[in-house]
Amino acid sequence: MALVPMKQILEEAKKKGYGVGAYNVNNMEQIQAIMAAAQETQSPVIIQASRGALKYSNFTYLGYLMKAAVIENPTIPVAMHLDHGNSLDSAKKAIDLGFSSVMIDGSLKEDGKTPSDYEYNVNVTKSVVEYAHKYGVTVEAEIGRLGGIEDGVGSGSAHITDPQEALQFVKDTGVDALAIAIGTSHGAYKFKGAKVLAFDVLQEVRKLIDIPIVLHGASSVPKELIDAVNKYGGKMPGAEGVPMEHLQKAIKLGVQKINVDTDGRLAMTATIRKVFTESPEKFDPRDYLGPARTALQGLIASKMKAFGTAGHASDYAPLTLEDMKKAYSK
């Protein structure tokens, strides 16, 4: 089994200067597609479930599907990560399910909508760090606020990260990885005008803090996928994402974890729409979920290559959560 703490995956990436995608999952086909891509490209991988995904799948189902991914791929370092946990309670639930990493998003209050203040963020993050580290589990937190709304998470207003505040936050919380806001946003409609990311802020944060940096809302929303969705009856005018060159630049400047959800949704939806349009007689879910799974594998494999993750699966001996427990208790 190679369930590894996310901290190790990200610190290895930081040492060697590549990025690791964290891909959101809701069901079996998505998990299988991502793992097949990791095998194909020999990449370490982070599979992440949002609170919405866990609720949709009734927690246990998704937790065990993610564990199956670990069992079926013993040579691939896999982190099971909770995306946008909103409370100590949500972190506890994920850790009970066997996750090796949790995010606590204290940039928003527990409703996942109302912007919080610095003190609230520090307090809730600290409580999760204290709890998770006892189990050897990695903690990601967020400082600044992303725009957009996804899975019901988001305030709708963005707030670019203040580098000095990021430094103070890391000192105050002891967190393992930090999500910062530099102009990306959740969802399929990320930019209205120019696609500008605050690379200067990223550079400044990277100078000040030593832990891995996370970029949320980092789907590229490829034009060919939007065109395919629209060609087969979809309606997604004006969808825009972060160009891959921007993500590659962010990796060069010091981002290690890149969150991708929207692009996976688009790849599956485009494929399913195509099957339904071209073969209206089909009604076996395998006839559309199978091709959707294949399309998603292709998309994720291309991201693993573009982020530089490919070929790094066997660079290091995986640490266990037990190892991390000891390391944290020192």
Q: C-alpha angle with apex 77: 74 to 78, nearest 5 degrees?
A: 95
Nearer to Zn ion, 177 or 319 (CB): 177
What residue number has its CB nearest to Zn ion?
Answer: 216
Question: Which residues share a beta bridge with 142?
Answer: 179
CA distance 303 to 301: 5
Enter the tokens of residue 141: 């937190």
Nearer to Zn ion, 29 or 142 (CB): 142
Annotated catalytic residue, options 83, 151, 162, 261: 83
Nearer to Zn ion, 12 or 150 (CB): 150
Closest approach, Cβ 170 to Zn ion, in A, equals 19
Closest approach, Cβ 151 to Zn ion, in A, equals 9
Contact (CB, 8 A) for 77 and 38: no
CA distance 160 to 2: 36
Closest approach, Cβ 311 to Zn ion, in A, equals 27
- Residues of this chain that bind Zn ion (CB under 5 A): 216
Nearer to Zn ion, 73 or 256 (CB): 256
- The reply to whether 151 belongs to the active site is no
Q: Nearest CA to 146 among 159, 132, 135?
A: 159
Closest approach, Cβ 119 to Zn ion, in A, equals 22
CA distance 266 to 227: 10
CB atoms within 10 A of CB 46: 30
Active-site residue numbers? 83
